[in-house]
Structure 1
């Protein structure tokens, strides 16, 4: 090691190759980090000498090392400090400072080392073990006692000496001061000479941003509230005297962004001090602190309204908390009301888009403005809590003035006026008329604004942001139209023409398709007179766009889903006679069926894979559109009552042949399966004749995913129709179970996690299916499968309960076992089943929780244990004393359970309170696993 250390010393001091030096520092780092305790005192001394020798070399070199070498060296110095400061090297800092003096290269390493120590010892973002936390506390205590005043003096000397000649070193030093101030004695820094030096650096272009950050760290230091107020106030006085509060005269926006963070920190610190003082009843000090907060509001407003959004965003926290203070006051002064109005006007101004915002191709700048707008919305919401009347009146004034001149106003003014109206909906409590109900005096302001919005023709404004805001606001306040329905026709036309669904912006068209569906859902009762006119006008938007026509559709297929749902709602909820509803629904769905047949025929003849995929997508859309129309039906307006059963049966007949298509099976099966789910809900028993053929197709050439998605369909049908589907279920039960077994038995590569997850999900689906059958009361479905098959299935449930470490599947299996015991475990149950209970079900209830993988600290596993307990309870219910005797005399002794514990468990099982049994079982198995 001695020879090795000499070689390292030579390499890092004399070699010119940076990569060799870096490697040598990495070697030293490894020795210190992982082998330090095993090194002899001589070897440890050699490492110290190596580092100091390298540092000495730096002082003599004219050319400093590359930054990456200096950073690595600082890291090694810091690690050595952490290992040795408390024991072997208490004079670490004194040795370094006496060596480097005021040499710039040496000072650079010293400052980098301090930052590296901060990262290892102080940084709260780094997780430390309890042992490391104790060590770090001891290091900080030792530093406070032995060297912090000397370090602070060295920082002052560096800041004073190098602010002109080496601004980069000064900035580094400011960063060090900012990092250390949180845990050292504040008086060492917050004194006249230090603060004056920092303030002087606020006027030096290269230093001012770092000086601002440093002052912010000083302000953020945890302190007594009265002392904090004094500190902030003295700092503010000096800053104000030096002219820093004259924000309008400052042209350096980067500095102002830092300065606004400093002001924000000072403001938030004062608010926190006021909160603490108010809580503890210090009336005078709280009043003084509130006065200090109020004095900062003019500066807050200058920064909040600044044209640079970063500067404005940095002050939002203080503004928000100031409003929170006002909210808590029993009464507001005129000045405070004036402040609220000024903040409102600032927020309204800053919500406005600028000319450069790119609406059609939003990038990073646009995303940042959207986030900034969210912060402003928080302020608006808080303003509404402080003074809803003031906010309502301010918005009304801006909105009314803008709407009077919307034709000549810039788009950003029009957009923000409507946006403010929109934002009132969330900001104002319902008692202030947000829902157009209650006291007409309160609702009148919102109602007036909505009336103006829908009648002043602003929907014709030629800018996408205004168009979007118009429709968003119309839908936000859709209840307005319940009060004044005579405005509906005008708004409908705006939705349907070039202002909405036919707007030249795809973004607007897409959003309007969704908003139109919401508008119609709420107000369909007021649209009866326009239903057929609307359906005629949107007919071309409901056409299926075949993949080969090259025509760019106005709406995407996702947008068309909303249009089909809207059309369905209009037809179903209209007041037309049943025959008319039937005709309208057929004319809506027939084009989809015709297109589907043509496209399916093309797909069957297509050989090119890319074209097959495009055709399959189109077929999938057709099924999806038809499915979406069925969302319009309800318990009050069923498919049958509307006379639409036949047209949906026709859809079924049209779509089902796609299940046997050999190409693109995944896409086609998925869409048809989703349609069948909807039809089970809507068509009721009319769907049943289609299920056997659909099932046969879907069980052919199955993959795990196919089966996993098919099982919920069968389960849904079982739960809904029960006895009606019993013959079909008896027929399909074993083919389905065997298909599942076959897929689960297929070999898969050991590391194929996707395949393993698919099998796990299929297993869960299978167990859920058996549970549904057992719980549906259709005893005959499983009972008629033959003894061998029943045994095979029930064994898989036992296996699922015990062998697979999947608590979700295990819980399902225990629920199923409990149900089977209930069905077949009584005196008149299935022949031979009681014997099966004792041989297999009872052992499962004990073997599963005893498995090492059965984690009793996991919430899902505890739920499984509860079901396990309920299974034992059900066995006792069905078999009575015979079961208790079996446990006490045969089974529990076989597990080496003592007679006392056996008796205790049996007594708990016989108690009527199931909760007692669940708790006992948990304790029983926790003891057993010790």
Structure 2
């Protein structure tokens, strides 16, 4: 293939070449002689070579390794003679191959790597380009800290760097100096590459080679060349960032600054791309100086520390200029220095610094302001970046609050009051930022959340004044989504203010309820306000008693279930409606009206849901079209969710019973439960009704019990693994909560549930169906946990009354779970159950026939499970299983005494070919009182047995 792109068959051929033992030599020859002109082919030859060096280098003969070295140098020689350089992607790949070869051979066969390269390349631009790319590729292989290396590679890389420092770094630095001086006019792109190399290498080479007059002056001269200055800036940044002695660092930074200042760089009037780099450089210089000052001050070196401090202060005007720059990238790049500087101010208290702090405060306040262009309806990448930038500014504001809270409060108060006085004519950006600053004070000023308005301090009164102004100024009517949101966020952040001045509650309530809040034209505002309103009411419901019915009637239409066919877009989504239902519940339950009034209000809140549910369920049963079925099921699930959410208002003090609301929730249960056996859309309906049942077990207490049998019957019809797995926690919750009260019901439902589980577990599944296998594993775990709940709740009679055959079936499943399935979590549960059953039934007065079961099945399980190859004693979960297994043996000894020891000695352990000495040891350890000794011994016993 000469100049055609590589065709499909050619690529397949090359893939084979890559894998074949010696075909790489064909590629090497092609590169050394420049046989192909097709870029893809050349690239591929390098890939084949790379593959060889990376994965097979160790297996090459010295002659073959020599061939690779020669190939690379011959290829490079060809580059020097070509009038046109190779495409960048080929040069990059070549550089990677050079770097890989270097890493493999520099310490052994090719110590003169750099000298060979430099003497060949000289000052030929094509050659210099490859040399610089190779240096960057070596940096990536040997130095880059973001790449994970094995311990072996780390050792090798350290050796390479040590060796380079000793032998070649001065020569490399000299070559960079020559390149930077030679090409800055003719080949700016090569000069930029070289600056990048210097920046990369400066972190680990001797800084004196770079940070000296001739080199730094060269770099500074390039700061004035348009094509070079961004890279020169980056390079200086890397130099400044290098760790060094604090006094030397201060001197270095100061000498740089003097030159930059005299060259006019501190008059910030450059293009934004350069200024973004420049502000990063200033940030690096500033942070370096702060670090030097901190070290010197800590070490008690007063004179040097003072010099560092005055160096820092000399940068502050520049810091402020960059911080307030219109371009956010430039400003964001200097935030780190600003943050660190505020920390210095916290420790060095001069009076005149108040001026500085205020300047920083004003800068932060200015930069917090939104742009005209910010798109609130469709936030994209620019908006996301501004939000991130605002977070950085918030850090500065928090730091300012630590440095001087009084000043911050005063500055925010000034901006806030000034803006609010003229809010009708102010731009949305000004108004939003004024409220935002008040909001941010809440986090910035150290106070426990409610403490902003308690105690008689200047802070309290200042915040209280601002809040009073905010809620009485009419600002809530400002027509912009950002201002509306900020208003409600702030009202809720400072909801404790209204406990001090409750007279403002009615006004704010109206704002929540009308076109300013829940009925705002923006769905984003409505959605957020629904949540904020629920928070507001939760804190302040005691002060809303006289408005409860008025509020409920005003939110009536927001509580309607939106049936799928009405076609009107609802004001709120169903997720937002959840908050409104919860709010309605809180208002009713915590109001001061008598129980019968609460009952009537709750009934009028829930009856529409009950009625709609009945209608929709009947519709769903007759609906044939799948999309409509899904929409109806969704709507039914929302109805159940809403009813569930109203019950969140109840507490130990205000129970459902005390509020007279039991009956209406019982009606809900009666209405919702039939949905459990609805033949279509089962998943979503079952899960909604099940969640409701969980809530009712907590809220209705024993009044829920009459509904449980019917619910269980519905849920056990045509079950899938997932249904059962979600049903078991419900039964477990009932068992643990009501214990003996549910014993008759449990005895009744126990076998149907167990049989349903067995039936699902026995269904054949595809061999490779991982999801089904996982579902079965989870169901098996849930089943064992269920048995554990029953035995540990002291309800063993539930099991005992199932009849001999059924008891046996269940017991065998537990033995099987302990031994046969390699699932340590399930196995552990099974041993806990076995141990409990031995405790309950294994004594002299236990269950007939059970001691026989212990010897025939439980004892073998305790030895066979840990002997299985899948029982991994290095796994923490499995070790926990082994502990439970050992405790089971201990429990058997407790219940059966010497008879058990005799059985182990004379029958069981000999049948496992355990030697008499070890058998004796096991029996002795079992008879010791300390369970820990037994656990440790059993672990050692099985480790030995498995060798």
* TM-score bracket, shorter-length normalisation: over 0.9
Query: Secondary structure, in 3 states, of the residue corresponding to 2:619?
Result: helix
Equivalent residue in structure 1 for 2:82, among 61, 71, 88: 61
Equivalent residue in structure 1 for 2:142, among 121, 124, 127: 121
Equivalent residue in structure 2 for 1:741, among 751, 758, 767: 758
Shift in alpha-carbon separation, 1:496–1:773, aligned structure 2, 3 A = same
Q: Does residue 84 of the first structure (1) align with residue 105 of the second (2)?
A: yes
Which residue does the alignment assign to 1:408? Answer: 425
Deviation per CA, 1:731-776, whole angstroms, max 9, x where unpaired? 1111111111111222222322222221122112111111111111
How do 1:320-399 residues align onto structure 2 when only pairs under 5 Å count? 320-327=339-346, 329=347, 331-399=348-416
Looking at structure 1, the residues matched to 874 and 793 of structure 2 have their Cα atoms a distance apart, in angstroms, of 33
Which residue does the alignment assign to 2:30? Answer: 10
| CA displacement at 1:154 relative to structure 2 | 1.0
Greater shift in the superposed pair: 317-326 or 196-205: 317-326
Query: Secondary structure, in 3 states, of the residue corresponding to 2:205?
Result: coil
Which residue does the alignment assign to 2:569? Answer: 552
Q: Does residue 21 of the first structure (1) align with residue 38 of the second (2)?
A: no
Q: Does residue 211 of the first structure (1) align with residue 242 of the second (2)?
A: no
Equivalent residue in structure 1 for 2:304, among 276, 285, 295: 285
Looking at structure 1, the residues matched to 553 and 896 of structure 2 have their Cα atoms a distance apart, in angstroms, of 69
Deviation per CA, 1:433-480, whole angstroms, max 9, x where unpaired? 843223444421222221221111211111111111111111111111
Alignment check: 8 A CA contact 2:246 2:292 kept: yes
Equivalent residue in structure 2 for 1:243, among 264, 286, 289: 264
Alignment check: 8 A CA contact 1:892 1:902 kept: yes
| CA displacement at 1:886 relative to structure 2 | 4.1
Q: Does residue 318 of the first structure (1) align with residue 329 of the second (2)?
A: no
Which residue does the alignment assign to 2:10? Answer: none
| CA displacement at 1:850 relative to structure 2 | 4.2
Shift in alpha-carbon separation, 1:196–1:927, aligned structure 2, 3 A = farther
How do 1:293-308 residues align onto structure 2 when only pairs under 5 Å count? 293-308=312-327
Equivalent residue in structure 2 for 1:232, among 236, 240, 253: 253
Greater shift in the superposed pair: 138-147 or 352-361: 138-147
Which residue does the alignment assign to 1:565? Answer: 582
Looking at structure 1, the residues matched to 476 and 174 of structure 2 have their Cα atoms a distance apart, in angstroms, of 67
| CA displacement at 1:901 relative to structure 2 | 5.7
Greater shift in the superposed pair: 200-209 or 292-301: 292-301
Query: Secondary structure, in 3 states, of the residue corresponding to 1:165?
Result: coil
Shift in alpha-carbon separation, 1:412–1:2, aligned structure 2, 3 A = closer
Alignment check: 8 A CA contact 1:582 1:642 kept: yes
Query: Secondary structure, in 3 states, of the residue corresponding to 1:214?
Result: helix
Which residue does the alignment assign to 2:15? Answer: none
Alignment check: 8 A CA contact 2:31 2:71 kept: no
Looking at structure 2, the residues matched to 916 and 283 of structure 1 have their Cα atoms a distance apart, in angstroms, of 61
Greater shift in the superposed pair: 574-583 or 531-540: 574-583
Alignment check: 8 A CA contact 2:290 2:340 kept: yes
Equivalent residue in structure 2 for 1:723, among 728, 737, 740: 740
Alignment check: 8 A CA contact 2:27 2:48 kept: no
Deviation per CA, 1:205-257, whole angstroms, max 9, x where unpaired? 2111111111111112121222222222222222122111222x22x111111
Alignment check: 8 A CA contact 1:2 1:43 kept: no
Shift in alpha-carbon separation, 1:392–1:114, aligned structure 2, 3 A = same
| CA displacement at 1:891 relative to structure 2 | 4.3
Deviation per CA, 1:86-123, whole angstroms, max 9, x where unpaired? 22111111111111111111111111111111111111
Alignment check: 8 A CA contact 2:435 2:487 kept: yes
Greater shift in the superposed pair: 376-385 or 437-446: 437-446
Q: Does residue 637 of the first structure (1) align with residue 664 of the second (2)?
A: no
Which residue does the alignment assign to 2:65? Answer: 44
| CA displacement at 1:4 relative to structure 2 | 6.4
Query: Secondary structure, in 3 states, of the residue corresponding to 1:15?
Result: coil
Deviation per CA, 1:180-205, whole angstroms, max 9, x where unpaired? 11111111111111111111111112
Greater shift in the superposed pair: 568-577 or 896-905: 896-905
Query: Secondary structure, in 3 states, of the residue corresponding to 1:462?
Result: coil
Which residue does the alignment assign to 2:722? Answer: 705
Which residue does the alignment assign to 2:835? Answer: 818
Q: How many residues get paired?
A: 926
Alignment check: 8 A CA contact 2:720 2:760 kept: yes
Looking at structure 2, the residues matched to 141 and 562 of structure 1 have their Cα atoms a distance apart, in angstroms, of 65
Query: Secondary structure, in 3 states, of the residue corresponding to 1:14?
Result: coil
Looking at structure 1, the residues matched to 683 and 797 of structure 2 have their Cα atoms a distance apart, in angstroms, of 33
How does the TM-score come out when normalised to structure 1?
0.96
Which residue does the alignment assign to 2:18? Answer: none
| CA displacement at 1:921 relative to structure 2 | 4.7
Looking at structure 1, the residues matched to 525 and 901 of structure 2 have their Cα atoms a distance apart, in angstroms, of 71
Greater shift in the superposed pair: 109-118 or 46-55: 46-55
Looking at structure 2, the residues matched to 892 and 444 of structure 1 have their Cα atoms a distance apart, in angstroms, of 82
Shift in alpha-carbon separation, 1:346–1:597, aligned structure 2, 3 A = same
Equivalent residue in structure 2 for 1:223, among 244, 264, 273: 244
Looking at structure 1, the residues matched to 438 and 910 of structure 2 have their Cα atoms a distance apart, in angstroms, of 76
Shift in alpha-carbon separation, 1:650–1:131, aligned structure 2, 3 A = same
Q: Does residue 170 of the first structure (1) align with residue 196 of the second (2)?
A: no
How do 1:440-589 residues align onto structure 2 when only pairs under 5 Å count? 440-589=457-606
Which residue does the alignment assign to 1:806? Answer: 823
Deviation per CA, 1:580-610, whole angstroms, max 9, x where unpaired? 1111111111111111111111111111111
Greater shift in the superposed pair: 313-322 or 616-625: 313-322
Which residue does the alignment assign to 1:795? Answer: 812
Alignment check: 8 A CA contact 1:433 1:446 kept: no
Equivalent residue in structure 2 for 1:149, among 141, 146, 170: 170
Shift in alpha-carbon separation, 1:797–1:3, aligned structure 2, 3 A = closer
Structure 1 gap segments, 5+ residues each: none
Equivalent residue in structure 2 for 1:265, among 268, 284, 292: 284
Alignment check: 8 A CA contact 1:5 1:50 kept: no
Alignment check: 8 A CA contact 1:433 1:443 kept: no
How does the TM-score come out when normalised to structure 2?
0.94
Alignment check: 8 A CA contact 2:247 2:304 kept: yes
Which residue does the alignment assign to 2:625? Answer: 608
| CA displacement at 1:860 relative to structure 2 | 3.4
Alignment check: 8 A CA contact 1:825 1:875 kept: yes
| CA displacement at 1:893 relative to structure 2 | 5.1
Looking at structure 2, the residues matched to 409 and 782 of structure 1 have their Cα atoms a distance apart, in angstroms, of 75
Alignment check: 8 A CA contact 1:482 1:523 kept: yes
Shift in alpha-carbon separation, 1:76–1:432, aligned structure 2, 3 A = closer
